[in-house]
Copies of this chain bind each other. A is one copy, B any other.
Amino acid sequence: MTGSLTVIGLGPGNPDQTTPEARAAIEAASDFFGYGPYLDRLELAPDQTCHASDNREELSRARAALEMAASGRSVAVVSGGDAGVFAMAAAICEAIEQDPISGREIDFRVVPGITAMLAVAARAGAPLGHDFCTVSLSDNLKPWDVIEARLRAAAGAGFVLAFYNPISRARPWQLGRAFEILREILPEATPVIFGRAVGRADEHMAVATLGEARPDQADMATCIIVGSAETRVIERKGRAPLVYSPRSTGRPAI
């Protein structure tokens, strides 16, 4: 008997940004795995069961979900944002690859969601309006020198940058170091957007220049967008400034 495993992206937090497809997938599942705060966002029926676990234990959570699906249950693994962007989908695939017997036979599906950078970008204007790179600043799963090399390569080539997992208690210096590196490459005036809990009651948005941007403007739930040298800020009377990256570029790559 084989069941199903669906990885569901809930979007950034505002229920109006959760797709009907994600909602239907939630209704169809019997068992739920995920980081507690994401499970808390679900409104489940009495016969639907939550299995909370630590956010740092992605692979063991993936294995537990897979095992339950293989036993015939309809299992959902929920992520905030999009499940495929620094979230659970890759961990599940890893668990499937390591479990070639049952893992590859279950009905596995990923339901996409609005990932944080899209919600933050929409609130700010259109900072992702030209080529961009999406980077996790967490060095839990990759060496810091790889991250540094990626930041240099991306900023040097004129990409806008979106940072996930920018800072945490266990990773206090990495974001400041990232800003330092970028200041060597990009103008001081380059816009930096800090977006937290976008679309929720406790939403916080801020725009700084790269010269002024400070790591303490972010926490682990903040998504940061650093413009390219061409990203522009439009000041508006009585409204937040708009930040956008023009579609066209005449500038050769650095």
Residues of B close to A97: CB separation below 8 A: 232, 234, 242, 244
* A190 contacts B by Cβ under 8 Å: no
A50 within 8 A of partner (CB): no
Residues of chain B contacted by A222 (CB below 8 angstroms): none
- Cβ-based interface call for A169 (8 A): no
- Number of chain A residues whose Cβ lies closer than 8 Å to a Cβ of chain B: 82
B118 touches A248 (CB 8 A): no
Question: Given A19-B19, A134-B134, A244-B94, A150–B82 Cβ distance below 8 Å?
Answer: no
Q: Are B119 and A146 in contact, with the CB atoms below 8 A?
A: no
When the two chains form their complex, are residues B112 and A143 in contact, meaning their CB atoms are under 8 A apart?
A: no
Residues of B within 8 A of A83 (CB): 122, 126
Q: A residues bordering B, Cβ < 8 Å? A: 9, 11, 14-21, 24, 58, 82-86, 89-94, 96-97, 104-105, 108, 110-115, 118-119, 121-123, 125-136, 141-143, 145-146, 149-150, 152-154, 156-159, 232, 234-237, 239, 242, 244-253
